């Protein structure tokens, strides 16, 4: 764990791309579609479900864990239907795309019925995951953060833009490709927020100021909606160090409950999988 944390602290200086990508020629997207259908992909999933309270706000670990599993299964099913091979799936962290200074403002709870606790360590590791090395875990988390950062402000252009560079090193990509079994990665990040009744009432007068994610506009400090659930799906090429395609979409489902979560995510791969 010490190696994992040390690597993470040294590596997480996120740098976004300054230029806004232009809409591509139709042949570019046709080429990406063909490439996607003919090459295997790995899946990296990070679910971050938050409960906003008048006092402390919390990461809900159990619900985040089960949501990550459910949405990963939905994506794998849709990939199989499109005859795309999946090499590996990982769900190593929750809220792993947050910067450390932001996530440390939250506490954690296993469920809504549990007592809140301090996070203690960073990153917030997911439960019931296959054992991986500290370096593998830190490398995956860094890719989650870098890909999320590179996507900021580009959701309005989903499915329709030139590739976006990711600020990652050759050393990172060379390490990740054998871990993932492919240079092509689908990164899916779930952002959810459920304010308490008291928090809802307190927000009525300042909804516009409080909102940090509306209609695809993200503010880096706290990248979650005031209420609701969204996913960001990015098709990453580690060889090119680019996001080739990205999608931001609200989805339905019952995530904040004690029983099994349910997600409804039709057409996640459209138009990429066509």
pLDDT digits (tens, 9 = 90+) for 42-99: 999 999 998 876 667 889 999 999 999 999 999 999 999 989 999 999 998 898 888 7
What one-character DSSP code corresponds to residue 227?
A: S
* Residue pair 14/145 in contact by the 8 Å Cβ criterion: yes
Percentage of residues in the chain having pLDDT higher than 70: 73
Per DSSP bridges, beta strands 124-125 and 217-218 are: unpaired
Q: Hey, CA dihedral for 263, 266, 271, 272, is it positive or negative?
A: positive
Q: What is the mean pLDDT of the chain?
A: 76
- What is the arithmetic mean of pLDDT over 171-193? 94
Q: What are phi and psi of 270, to 5 degrees?
A: -80, 135
Per DSSP bridges, beta strands 93-94 and 262-264 are: unpaired
Which pLDDT score is estimated for 8? 38
Is residue 229 assigned to a domain? yes
Range of the domain at 66: 41-264
The pTM of the whole model exceeds 0.75? yes
How many other β-carbons are positioned within 10 Å of the β-carbon of residue 163? 19
DSSP 4-28: HHHHHHHH------SSPPPPPPHHH
Q: What distance, in Å, lies between the first and last C-alpha atoms of the chain?
A: 42
Is residue 25 assigned to a domain? no
Give the pLDDT band of residue 261 (cuts 50, 70, 90).
confident
Is residue 12 assigned to a domain? no
Q: Hey, CA dihedral for 158, 160, 161, 165, is it positive or negative?
A: positive
What one-character DSSP code corresponds to residue 165?
A: E
pLDDT at 4 over 60: no
Which pLDDT score is estimated for 134? 86
Question: Which has more pLDDT, 168 or 24?
Answer: 168
pLDDT at 179 over 90: yes
Which pLDDT score is estimated for 213? 37
DSSP 97-132: TS-HHHHTT-EEESSTTSPPB---SSSEEPSS----
Which pLDDT score is estimated for 51? 83
Question: Which has more pLDDT, 180 or 141?
Answer: 180
Question: Which has more pLDDT, 256 or 18?
Answer: 256
Is residue 29 assigned to a domain? no
Question: Which has more pLDDT, 211 or 62?
Answer: 62
Structurally, the chain folds into a number of domains equal to: 1
């Amino acid at each position: 764990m010490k190696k994992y944390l040390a690597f993470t602290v040294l590596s997480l200086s996120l740098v976004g791309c300054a230029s806004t990508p232009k809409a591509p020629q139709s042949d570019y997207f046709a080429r990406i579609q063909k490439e996607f259908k003919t090459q295997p992909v790995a899946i990296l999933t990070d679910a971050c479900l938050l409960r906003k309270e008048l006092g402390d706000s919390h990461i809900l670990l159990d619900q985040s864990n089960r949501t990550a599993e459910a949405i990963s299964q939905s994506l794998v099913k849709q990939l199989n239907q499109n005859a795309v091979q999946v090499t590996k799936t990982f769900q190593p962290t929750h809220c792993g795309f947050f910067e450390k200074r932001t996530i440390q403002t939250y506490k954690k709870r296993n469920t809504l019925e549990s007592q809140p606790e301090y996070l203690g360590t960073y990153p917030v590791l997911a439960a019931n995951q296959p054992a991986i090395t500290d370096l593998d875990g830190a490398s995956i988390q860094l890719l989650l953060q870098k890909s999320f950062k590179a996507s900021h402000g580009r959701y309005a252009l989903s499915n329709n833009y030139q590739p976006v560079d990711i600020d990652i090193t050759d050393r990172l990509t060379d390490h990740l490709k054998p871990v993932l079994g492919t240079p092509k990665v689908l990164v899916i990040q779930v952002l959810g927020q459920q304010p308490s009744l008291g928090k809802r009432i307190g927000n009525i007068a300042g909804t516009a100021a409080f909102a940090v994610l509306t209609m695809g506009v993200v503010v880096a400090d706290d990248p979650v909606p005031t209420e609701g659930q969204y996913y960001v799906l990015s098709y990453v090429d580690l060889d090119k160090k680019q996001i080739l395609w990205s999608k931001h979409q609200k989805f339905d489902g019952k995530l904040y409950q004690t029983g099994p979560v349910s997600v409804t995510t039709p057409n996640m791969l459209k138009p990429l999988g066509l």
